[in-house]
Amino acid sequence: MYFTFFMSKPSIACGLDIGTAAIKILVAKTTSPGSTEAIYIGQHPSVGIRRGVIVNIEEAAKCIANAIHSAELVSGIKINGVYTNIGGAHVFCASSRGLVSVSRADGSISEEDVERVLLAAKTISLSSNKEIIGVYPREFIVDGEGGVKDAVGMRGVRLESDAIILAGFAPYLKNLDQTLFKADLEILDRVPGAIAGALFALTPRQKELGTALVDIGAGTTAVAVYEDGDLIHFSVLPIGSINITNDIAIGLQIDIETAEKIKIKHGACLFKGADKKIRIEDSQKKYAETFSQRAVSKIINERIAEIFEMVNKELKKINRAGKLPAGIVLAGGGAKLPGIIEVAKKEFRLSCRLAGIEGIAGIDQDLSLVNVCGLVLLDMEEKNTKSGSRSFNNSSAFINTLKKIIKAFAP
pLDDT of residue 282: 64
Which residues of 228-373 form beta strands (DSSP E)?
230-237, 277-281, 288-292, 328-331, 352-354, 360-361
Among 410, 406, 5, 100, which residue's Cα sits nearest to residue 231? 406
Task: List the end-to-end C-alpha distance of the chain, in Å, as a whole number.
Answer: 31
pTM over 0.85: yes
Buried-state track 246-285, b at ≥16 Cβ within 10 A, e below 16: ebbbebbebeeebbbbbbeebbbbbbeeeeeeeebeeeee
Distances (CA, A) of 355 to 194, 197, 336, 365: 12, 9, 10, 9
Which residues of 19-129 form beta strands (DSSP E)?
22-32, 35-45, 49-50, 53-54, 81-86, 92-101
Burial class (CB in 10 A: 0-12, 13-18, 19+), 6: middle
pLDDT of residue 36: 80
Hey, is 366 helix, strand or coil? Answer: coil
pLDDT digit of tens for each residue in the chain (411 aa)? 444 443 445 688 999 999 999 999 999 988 766 678 899 999 999 999 999 999 999 999 999 999 999 999 999 999 999 999 999 999 999 999 999 999 998 999 999 999 999 999 988 888 889 999 999 999 999 999 998 999 999 999 999 999 999 999 999 999 999 999 999 999 999 999 999 999 999 999 999 999 999 999 999 999 999 999 999 999 999 999 999 999 999 999 888 988 998 999 889 999 887 777 878 776 666 667 788 889 999 999 999 999 999 999 999 999 999 999 999 999 999 999 999 999 999 999 999 999 988 778 888 888 999 999 999 988 888 777 665 443 323 344 444 445 445 444 444
Buried-state track 53-82, b at ≥16 Cβ within 10 A, e below 16: bbeebeebbbbbbebbeebeeebeeebeeb
Q: How far is CA 81 from the centre of its chain?
A: 19
| CA angle 285–290–296, rounded 5-degree value | 110
pLDDT of residue 3: 43
How far apart CA 161 and CA 141 sit, in angstroms, is 6
How far apart CA 28 and CA 35 sit, in angstroms, is 10
| CA angle 80–81–84, rounded 5-degree value | 145
pLDDT of residue 352: 97
pLDDT of residue 187: 93
How far apart CA 180 and CA 175 sit, in angstroms, is 9
How far apart CA 224 and CA 93 sit, in angstroms, is 10
Domains, the chain, with CATH or none = 11-89+171-209+359-409 (3.30.420.40), 92-169 (3.30.1490.110)
How far apart CA 368 and CA 334 sit, in angstroms, is 8
How far apart CA 263 and CA 146 sit, in angstroms, is 49
Contact 310/221 with Cβ under 8 angstroms? yes
Contact 337/379 with Cβ under 8 angstroms? no
Which residues of 193-250 form beta strands (DSSP E)?
211-216, 221-227, 230-237
Distances (CA, A) of 269 to 251, 323, 329, 338, 351: 16, 24, 17, 6, 18
How far apart CA 118 and CA 140 sit, in angstroms, is 10
Contact 276/295 with Cβ under 8 angstroms? no
Hey, is 401 helix, strand or coil? Answer: helix
How far apart CA 97 and CA 104 sit, in angstroms, is 22
Contact 354/367 with Cβ under 8 angstroms? yes
